[in-house]
Structure 1
């Protein structure tokens, strides 16, 4: 019970209260001071009680409770472990379940932020069984009648028995042995794209063959993971973002297909029933045809779907009259290049009466009309205008936009959308003095974006300018030598969380962060002043970026945690694949550079550091200085193996620009904070893996050993 000053005062005899009232209530004032101190004492006592429990204790108490139970802090790179309170709270519960597969799986998901599956490899050993304890599911021979175990061979869901593997699992080499437990992690996440127009195959005279991807390219469909808050069983395929195979779609169609599921198809506003969907191989035959075409049958027309390639083949009776839309999930490593993820904090302009919003569709039907309306709004005194696209539509337009003096226009996709802009001609951006254009959340293909006149600022956030402009169905660029963006004016360009093709700019300044600049091949130009191989690009400042292609810049002010993956071909006129004119100023730090790169001073870059360390080690072992020939031999050997290794360099592939697990660790942990170099630096993948290994040391049973395997 809280003792207020009035309650204490009421406890006094009436005679004292009367006398106190006669003298101006000095006693009441004294009791008020005493009551304040009593209240503080009660609050402190209550907090002391609360501090005994991790759920209610003060923040300063958390480390002490953690120390009492032996808690070790982790890298706070994942939201679930950024504050140790929850982990300390779960420690006792985890220890009660110590060593169980479901608990290890929960632990792996919590500390890495990735979907996980734990496999007890000792249960998959081909052994002579004790007849009083027969394990019927552990069969040494493979049954060819059971399709699902065969489908899952060499996957995280492999259930067949294997011979013993005596290699250590700790370095991810061996698997099947008595003390071994494996943790499979999915680095690729499933990103939804809802009500996106299905795109017809070019030159399909019957209009019956379609692609899921808005760029009309092959893309694997990813299963929408059904995640559990608390893991009570080992993850199955439906619980992880795994590619859908043709056989799995056939056998589990009702699991993957339908509204709110992994994918769905709508024809003329009506959802195609799952009874009409048939899983099928729709690969190319080499003659321009696909492997199969649905026949017309008496019991209803069938729609053929290839989840491996992301293709659809329709019967003649279901040829869409107006529209055909698809909802599906595609795979990628992180929030980059636009998508149905949270982007609201990157919006530059906030709608106000002075900053109106033009909606597409709605107020205007096309982007060109919206720009014309923005010009009209400028005449009415609105110098800042937002053009917002509120769907995942496909806008095939020819755009030329004029920005007036000091006008700011932000063309953006609404939060959670990624529309596709198919340019029918080069997009000319004309800006008067002080004009600024901001692009956010767009997928742009078809032609080049270029500027003229006096555009002051151009900013791109979470955009994709398709490398090669247009792609073949297999993802190869149709015009690999053409640039995605050409800046012909002295403009300040900012690029963040984007994927772009070749970028040409002669003057001004450029800042690129957390992005991919992809020239479609390491021997082509990624960044320069022009394609004639003589003009240097504008002053460059970059961080956490992967450049795939040659770079020629007037000056590199700074480059931190970057990968410059480039090389010269036999006919090249460049002196080096990365070439900076001004080498006296600027700095490149914690980055990978190709051999013979001409750059400003470097600090902790690869392979420079590895070469220097190896030369020093060799000289110490030999007790003498090495000759130039010997040092050149060491340099050449290291340069041959210390190179970035990517899962894929083809845009549209789920593993695009992702460092492979066999990439040299000098690159995988070579950034200034021991994260990886390049565009996925902020994922902190080495720290996530380190967190998991730290926790497994505590929670594995005695004698057990764990290995980490990347499923994607």
Structure 2
């Protein structure tokens, strides 16, 4: 694929220039540092020749769907008569073409439909034939349940009885299993129902002969490894998995298997919240275990607890042994020493020892790769900038970061290599050069000071060099919690990429924020600008309030694929002298800016623009009462209208649009996807692709019922 950073056009133009006789090159321009008309002509010819040469070099790669350019996909689809869905992302189209023959050979089968949906959308899917869940009177042609030689495992494998409730096929529900009863009316229902003749939509019209249930899990399960848990201040033997002290549901890791060995997934194989009964039932599948090949290695599953070894040199896994369990998810069992509460994201140590120290690994759910997290932060098709020298690698948590930064003016790169919590603040001065504070890929270090300390801030102070050069700051993959981030001094450019500045949790109408498990208030982490910043760029971030204070100035703010939220009574953007440009963003709170330009965004509260003669609001939702520049293909909503499944930061469905949101918002983007920060996930386009492709591959006479589980 083409890479605009390789300067191939310039190389080819220079190559052509060197082929000209020296006489013509010397006579072209009297100035050495200025191109003459001949050189300009050669550069234009060279640029076009480079395009032709690049295309020739890629002819062989364009013969394969795996390596071809995106524009070739449609032509290959035409050769196979593939019903290519327009508007779908290149990944989904490429897989659709690559597996067309594979799909056609297995057309109409449940595993093929599940794999097709997963390939197109990257969501986890389970397809249920609802006609198999109809209650009926058994007849003599039915296979006998519990016949000669038919053991329990064979009955379950053949679908003659439920694995949890042992309800016989088509028969009366056996209610003795509490967990099995909880699964009623889900994708894992083991009970049988009377016919429902209503239209199949959402949670109605499921059980009928022509109904095919398609259950979709849209949230992503994001791994976090070796995290510092938070001890509860009111119960010292209880800890939260979340390093900010929040109660969050733990998620199961996605563990689907496709291909010839595929089968419909079990509940513990899908990216969904782990319930206590599920953890009890599938403890061995969800909890980490020692490797059978290497006793020192650990096979990561969905969660694990690690305790500091007696030597104090490493952390060892608290193992799960079915014969002598140390862990349980059932609070009625008093013998195991560790009680896990996955719905709250906590674990309890019944017999604590002095000086104990823990690390935890777990999965959390979210809609997209926005903010700090354990996902791959690299963008497809985009080169990662090399790390500036000198490079300093930091790990260990605690005050290790502050000690590494020291007191000298900084430049180069500081790389945090783990996901631990760094507890000490800092006030650092930067040299008039580039300084990068970055987390290693797939890691999420948390900067959070312990409770009981006076309010402070993480302060970066820019400087000006003798020749007028200024500092440049890059923050990448970091999670700031509790205290503010301050920009002082002079900066030419500040870039925040995949960072989280905790917006806090303060319920509507409450005067104070909620408290974390250790008693620290979950207040917002503000980005305060006290100095002079020419340009601030925010890419794929979750931020609290952004504002200038005192003599601080910010010339331009660029926001892309980000969520900004402020607590009640506070403005999310207070930038009266700033030119703000945002694209695919969600703004949760009031804002006041100088100039404003918004594209494919949701302005959930009143936004006041002082200079509304410049800029444009296009393909966006805006709140009544806002003062905005001209609007194009935008929709007006009531201020703080009910649009989101949750506005509480930390929840898996944070800022996710409700299924009942107006289609003018859920399909109002320029390409037909939803407005706001999750536009890049293209939910509406993926849903449309599923409907089109299922019509092509479903068995004749069946109609799908789309059920969004998350």
TM-score, normalising length: structure 1: 0.76
Question: 1:278 corresponds to which residue?
Answer: 328
Deviation, structure 1 residue 413: 0.5
* CA–CA distance in structure 2, aligned partners of residues 670 and 71 of structure 1: 28
Question: 2:447 corresponds to which residue?
Answer: 421
SS in 1 for 2:674: coil
Q: Call closer, same or farther: CA 1:656–1:372 in 2, change over 3 Å.
A: same
Partner residue of 1:487 out of 513, 529, 538: 529
* CA–CA distance in structure 1, aligned partners of residues 103 and 70 of structure 2: 22
Deviation, structure 1 residue 169: 2.0
Does the 8 Å CA contact 2:73/2:93 hold for their aligned counterparts?
no
Question: 2:481 corresponds to which residue?
Answer: 445
- What is the CA RMSD across the aligned residues, in angstroms? 3.1
What's the CA shift string for 1:543-599, capped at 9, x where partnerless? 10000000111110x100000111xxxxxxxxxx21111011111101000112110
SS in 2 for 1:108: helix
Partner residue of 1:108 out of 117, 124, 148: 117
Partner residue of 2:463 out of 432, 438, 441: 432
SS in 2 for 1:512: strand
Q: Call closer, same or farther: CA 1:351–1:448 in 2, change over 3 Å.
A: closer
SS in 2 for 1:456: strand
Does the 8 Å CA contact 2:268/2:278 hold for their aligned counterparts?
no
What's the CA shift string for 1:389-430, capped at 9, x where partnerless? 0011110112111113x2221001011110000146222222
* CA–CA distance in structure 1, aligned partners of residues 586 and 72 of structure 2: 43
SS in 2 for 1:407: strand
Partner residue of 2:395 out of 354, 358, 361: 361
Does the 8 Å CA contact 2:232/2:518 hold for their aligned counterparts?
no
Q: Call closer, same or farther: CA 1:560–1:279 in 2, change over 3 Å.
A: same
Partner residue of 1:94 out of 103, 107, 124: 103
What's the CA shift string for 1:84-122, capped at 9, x where partnerless? xx5345333322322211111111111111110001111
Does the 8 Å CA contact 1:339/1:416 hold for their aligned counterparts?
yes
* CA–CA distance in structure 2, aligned partners of residues 121 and 315 of structure 1: 45
Deviation, structure 1 residue 490: 2.8
Q: Call closer, same or farther: CA 1:149–1:373 in 2, change over 3 Å.
A: same
Deviation, structure 1 residue 337: 0.8
* CA–CA distance in structure 2, aligned partners of residues 62 and 538 of structure 1: 43
Q: 1:453-472 alignment to 2 at 5 Å?
A: 453-468=489-504, 472=515
Match status 1:370 vs 2:370: no
Question: 2:341 corresponds to which residue?
Answer: 306
Question: 1:689 corresponds to which residue?
Answer: 687
Does the 8 Å CA contact 1:199/1:213 hold for their aligned counterparts?
yes
Deviation, structure 1 residue 350: 2.3
Question: 2:647 corresponds to which residue?
Answer: 649
* CA–CA distance in structure 2, aligned partners of residues 670 and 476 of structure 1: 42
Partner residue of 1:407 out of 408, 417, 433: 433
* CA–CA distance in structure 1, aligned partners of residues 175 and 81 of structure 2: 50
Match status 1:560 vs 2:599: yes
SS in 2 for 1:235: coil
Q: Call closer, same or farther: CA 1:71–1:370 in 2, change over 3 Å.
A: same
Does the 8 Å CA contact 1:348/1:410 hold for their aligned counterparts?
no
Q: Which blocks of at least 5 consecutive residues in structure 1 are unaligned?
A: 1-46, 282-291, 379-383, 530-535, 567-576, 608-638
Deviation, structure 1 residue 58: 12
Question: 1:624 corresponds to which residue?
Answer: none
Q: Call closer, same or farther: CA 1:184–1:583 in 2, change over 3 Å.
A: same
Q: Call closer, same or farther: CA 1:181–1:426 in 2, change over 3 Å.
A: same
Q: Which has the larger radius of gyration?
A: 1
Match status 1:707 vs 2:702: no
Q: Which blocks of at least 5 consecutive residues in structure 2 are unaligned?
A: 1-58, 144-159, 162-167, 289-298, 309-314, 465-469, 506-512
* CA–CA distance in structure 2, aligned partners of residues 152 and 475 of structure 1: 35
Match status 1:584 vs 2:584: no
SS in 2 for 1:682: helix
Deviation, structure 1 residue 155: 1.9
* CA–CA distance in structure 1, aligned partners of residues 368 and 67 of structure 2: 34
Does the 8 Å CA contact 1:553/1:579 hold for their aligned counterparts?
yes
Partner residue of 1:513 out of 544, 549, 560: 560
* CA–CA distance in structure 1, aligned partners of residues 416 and 614 of structure 2: 43
Partner residue of 1:499 out of 516, 537, 542: 542
* CA–CA distance in structure 2, aligned partners of residues 440 and 310 of structure 1: 26
Does the 8 Å CA contact 1:170/1:705 hold for their aligned counterparts?
no
What's the CA shift string for 1:637-664, capped at 9, x where partnerless? xx56994521111111111111121111
Question: 1:321 corresponds to which residue?
Answer: 355
Does the 8 Å CA contact 1:675/1:684 hold for their aligned counterparts?
yes
* CA–CA distance in structure 2, aligned partners of residues 418 and 687 of structure 1: 31
Question: 1:600 corresponds to which residue?
Answer: 629
Partner residue of 1:146 out of 177, 180, 204: 177
Question: 1:539 corresponds to which residue?
Answer: 579
Partner residue of 2:85 out of 54, 70, 74: 74
* CA–CA distance in structure 1, aligned partners of residues 96 and 693 of structure 2: 11
Larger displacement relative to structure 2 (163-172 or 444-453): 163-172
SS in 2 for 1:706: strand
SS in 2 for 1:437: strand
Higher helix proportion (structure 1 or 2): 1
Deviation, structure 1 residue 486: 1.1
Deviation, structure 1 residue 221: 1.1
TM-score, normalising length: structure 2: 0.76
What's the CA shift string for 1:282-322, capped at 9, x where partnerless? xxxxxxxxxx9x96x6xxx5111101101111123x43635
* CA–CA distance in structure 2, aligned partners of residues 487 and 306 of structure 1: 41
* CA–CA distance in structure 2, aligned partners of residues 475 and 684 of structure 1: 39
Question: 1:10 corresponds to which residue?
Answer: none
* CA–CA distance in structure 2, aligned partners of residues 398 and 179 of structure 1: 62
Does the 8 Å CA contact 2:279/2:286 hold for their aligned counterparts?
yes
Does the 8 Å CA contact 2:481/2:525 hold for their aligned counterparts?
no
Q: 1:239-258 alignment to 2 at 5 Å?
A: 239-258=269-288
Question: 1:622 corresponds to which residue?
Answer: none
Match status 1:166 vs 2:166: no
SS in 1 for 2:623: coil
Q: 1:362-401 alignment to 2 at 5 Å?
A: 366-372=400-406, 375=409, 384-401=411-428
* CA–CA distance in structure 1, aligned partners of residues 585 and 378 of structure 2: 22
Question: 1:350 corresponds to which residue?
Answer: 386
Does the 8 Å CA contact 1:527/1:552 hold for their aligned counterparts?
yes
Q: Call closer, same or farther: CA 1:262–1:79 in 2, change over 3 Å.
A: farther
Partner residue of 2:303 out of 263, 267, 279: 263
Deviation, structure 1 residue 181: 0.4
* CA–CA distance in structure 1, aligned partners of residues 213 and 223 of structure 2: 29
Deviation, structure 1 residue 146: 2.7
What's the CA shift string for 1:462-514, capped at 9, x where partnerless? 1111113885248999365x551111223121111111111113542211110
* CA–CA distance in structure 2, aligned partners of residues 395 and 564 of structure 1: 34
SS in 1 for 2:649: coil
Match status 1:212 vs 2:259: no
Question: 2:127 corresponds to which residue?
Answer: 118
Partner residue of 2:264 out of 214, 217, 234: 234
Q: Call closer, same or farther: CA 1:592–1:202 in 2, change over 3 Å.
A: same
Partner residue of 2:223 out of 156, 179, 192: 192
What's the CA shift string for 1:118-137, capped at 9, x where partnerless? 01111112233333326663
Does the 8 Å CA contact 1:117/1:185 hold for their aligned counterparts?
yes
SS in 2 for 1:248: helix
